Amino acid sequence: MVGDALTVVTHPETTPAAKTVLICEDDSNLRTLMRLTLGDSYRIHEAADGNQALELLESTDPDLIVLDLMLPGRSGLDLLGEIRGVGGHERTPIVVISAWAHSDEAAVAAGADRFVAKPFDPDELNTTVADLLESDGDRS
């Protein structure tokens, strides 16, 4: 449901040092699939639109953001530009996920670190997130 943001803290066995991932996706079923794909290794926070994502960005200070491009109210590309302009988040790794044809080039040009096409392969998303977090978001 659009506008229905929720914040989910993963299972108790998540270590205090677990990385925090912010998922911004308007489709609640896809948010759930992304959360289940990433598993119990991360603290997951979820936003259904760009405004909620910006609020959670400040309150949760995520280590990585998974961002859909087609969001209600503002595009994910606009949100990506805003995130890159927020102090302290210029280097936060961002994985853009979208079904838009040829949006990979636009996303990377706007500051995304990686692009994953929808429908996404769970293994590809999991590997992409893990690789970026292990490299501390090295944007090389």
Task: Give the tens place of pLDDT for each residue, 12-37.
Answer: 455 667 899 999 999 999 999 999 99
Residues belonging to the chain: 140
User: How is domain 6-134 classified at the CATH fold level?
Assistant: Rossmann fold (3.40.50)
Query: Do 83 and 92 meet the contact criterion of CB atoms below 8 Å apart?
Result: yes
Q: Could you give the CA distance from residue 87 to residue 127 in angstroms, rounded to a whole number?
A: 28
The pLDDT mean for the chain works out to 86
pTM: 0.86
Name every residue whose Cβ is closer than 8 Å to that of residue 58 and which is 6 or more positions away in sequence: 86
Q: Could you give the CA distance from residue 26 to residue 34 in angstroms, rounded to a whole number?
A: 12
Query: Do 19 and 9 meet the contact criterion of CB atoms below 8 Å apart?
Result: no
Percent of the chain's residues with pLDDT above 90: 61
Count the neighbouring beta carbons within 10 Å of the beta carbon of residue 25: 25
Domain positions in the chain: 6-134
Residue 139 has what pLDDT?
47
> In the sheet that 114-117 helps form, which strands lie side by side, from edge to edge?
6-8, 43-47, 20-24, 64-68, 94-98, 114-117
Q: Residue 136: pLDDT band by 50, 70, 90 thresholds?
A: low
Query: Do 84 and 108 meet the contact criterion of CB atoms below 8 Å apart?
Result: no
| Chain segment 91-107, per-residue pLDDT in tens | 999 999 998 877 889 89
| Chain segment 51-91, per-residue pLDDT in tens | 999 999 989 999 999 999 999 988 899 999 999 887 788 89
Q: Could you give the CA distance from residue 56 to residue 22 in angstroms, rounded to a whole number?
A: 8
